[in-house]
Amino acid sequence: MDVGVFVPLGNGNASPEILRAVGRETEERGFESIWVPEHVVLFDEYSSAYPYSADGKFPGGPDSGMLEPLQALTFLAAITDRVRLGTGICLVPQRNPVYTAKAVTDLDSLSGGRVDFGVGVGWLKEEFEAVAMPFEKRGQRTDEHLQVMKSLWCDEVSEYHGELYNLDPCRMYPKPIQTPHPPIHVGGESDAAMRRVARHAQGWFSFNRLPADLPEPLGRLDAALAEEGRTRSDVVLSVSPYFNQTTPQLVEEYAALGVDRLIVLCLAFDVDTLRSQLDDLVTNVLEPAQS
């Protein structure tokens, strides 16, 4: 089982010094991947419910901020050679799909083919309004945007005509190094997310789940894959325990359930703390996963 790190980078830890340490220290220790989240703005007051906390509130606070994920990963690509670089999660329906496709393919080229494209539909209605994108039909918009991006990545002449987006014939180059395109990992826990995995993706990214929480959604995933003539062997199962402490026993339980990649939280605001956290993760997660 591979082990990646989920590294929120934002207000308080977005310095070049810390980013250089994130890239170099994770790669030196043998972690497989680095994943970064996305929110372009946050709010003091909001009515939307954050799906990964009991009170529906985002844990970072309105001033936590986040680096734009594809720019952060491009910086990390320049100072690393092996570690894979993932968005966890890119908010596809509130972005222009052409610019997003361009940023992903350029990152894939500059990193030597190391991009994992984690995508989701988003939860924060107020953020959609801030970037002038409708919150309604965001699932359908995600599906259409993914089809637009696949055409731009894969087709010599790209074209798409949908209900929510229209792309007249055009060309985008260079193409990604990974073929047919960087792996798409769908985040989300709903039945719609499972169908999106089955139709469009090479992986499912599950967030804030302990091993005991996995059998039920995996059953739904298997059913959705079967509808598309696919099986679990066709997708990579990535799980982030998020704030749950990951012990060697839990690592064993995740592996027994067929998890392909654990993505464990590493949140530090200085280099020494970052190194200490990574050392603990090596002992408690990386080494047990490799044994």
Q: What is the rounded (10 degree) CA torsion for 226, 228, 231, 235?
A: -140
The pLDDT tens digits of the residues spanning 271-288 come to 999 999 999 999 999 999
pLDDT tens digits along 34-70: 999 999 999 999 999 999 998 999 998 899 999 999 9
As a whole number, mean pLDDT of residues 168-197 equals 97
- pLDDT the model gives residue 61: 86
Task: Output the pTM of the full model.
Answer: 0.96
- Residue 255's pLDDT is what? 97
Q: For residues 238 and 142, give the distance between their C-alpha atoms in angstroms, rounded to a whole number.
A: 20
pLDDT of residue 116: 98
- Tell me the pLDDT of the chain averaged across its residues: 97
Q: Give the pLDDT mean for 142-161.
A: 98
Q: What is the DSSP string of 57-94?
A: --TT-TT-----HHHHHHHHHHT-SS-EEEES-EEGGG
Q: Which of 70, 86, 76 is nearest to 118 (CA)?
A: 86
| Domain 2-290, CATH class in plain words | alpha beta
* pLDDT tens profile 212-258: 999 999 999 999 999 999 999 999 999 999 989 899 999 999 999 99
Confidence class of residue 291 from pLDDT cuts 50, 70 and 90?
confident
Q: Which residue's entry shows tokens 């047919």?
A: 180
Q: Please, which pLDDT band fits residue 261 given cuts at 50, 70 and 90?
A: very high
What ranges in 84-243 are assigned the alpha helix state H?
97-111, 125-130, 138-154, 191-200, 215-227
Domain residue ranges of the chain, discontinuous segments joined by +: 2-290
User: How far apart are alpha carbons 258 and 235 in whole angstroms?
Assistant: 11
Nearest one of 94, 90, 95 to 70, comparing CA atoms: 90
DSSP secondary structure letter of residue 220:
H
Per-residue pLDDT tens digits for 83-122: 999 999 999 999 999 999 999 999 999 999 999 999 999 9
For residues 230 and 264, the answer to whether their CB atoms sit within 8 Å is: no
Mean pLDDT, residues 8-22 = 96
